[in-house]
């Protein structure tokens, strides 16, 4: 592959037209077209500006290093790692709130509120990534919510105090 093909693929990967690239670099659209057709080569200043615009290195644009060519815009690896960390935090929160609602079952009002938080975090983590653990956590949180509400309403019906169990 020659430099023109690398430039064209990098431009398409960013979803830019030749006109948009030309306006960004203060050159004519014909200059960009000539670079991509290998009829001329961009100056060093323009090559550096292209690498910044395309968010890639000059080595990749000149073919010194290869890159995976795709028409889709790829997400940076850092975002995927951050997303995985965020999913783990949601899982930990949903499991923690579910356990807390089970432990605080003796105080149904608090257990109910904690169960609601567990349900919210379970749904958020399931939306991000569906796993059996998320589903089980959601089911248990719903069960503890129902049980907590049942105990609360029964205590109020029979005029029982929390500590008179």
pLDDT attached to residue 4: 84
CA–CA gap between residue 80 and residue 83 (Å, rounded): 5
pLDDT digits (tens, 9 = 90+) for 132-150: 777 888 888 888 888 777 7
Q: Is 134:88 a contact under the CB 8 Å cutoff? A: no
pTM of the model: 0.41
- Which is more confidently placed, 157 or 84? 84
pLDDT digits (tens, 9 = 90+) for 68-104: 544 444 444 445 566 777 778 888 888 888 888 777 7
Q: Which residue has the tokens 């605080």?
A: 104
């Amino acid at each position: 592959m020659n430099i023109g093909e690398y430039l064209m693929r990098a431009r398409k990967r960013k979803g830019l037209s030749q006109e948009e690239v030309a306006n960004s670099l203060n050159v004519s659209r014909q200059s960009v077209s000539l670079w991509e057709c290998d009829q001329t080569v961009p100056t060093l200043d323009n090559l550096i500006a292209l690498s910044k615009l395309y968010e890639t290195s000059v080595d990749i644009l000149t073919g010194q290093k290869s890159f995976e060519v795709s028409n889709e815009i790829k997400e940076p690896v850092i975002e995927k790692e951050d997303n995985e960390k965020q999913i783990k935090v949601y899982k930990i929160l949903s499991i923690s709130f579910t356990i807390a609602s089970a432990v605080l079952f003796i105080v149904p009002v608090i257990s109910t509120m904690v169960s609601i938080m567990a349900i919210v975090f379970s749904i958020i983590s399931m939306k991000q990534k569906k796993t059996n653990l998320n589903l089980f956590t959601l089911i248990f949180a719903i069960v503890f919510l129902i049980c907590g509400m049942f105990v609360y309403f029964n205590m109020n019906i029979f005029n029982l105090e929390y500590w008179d169990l």
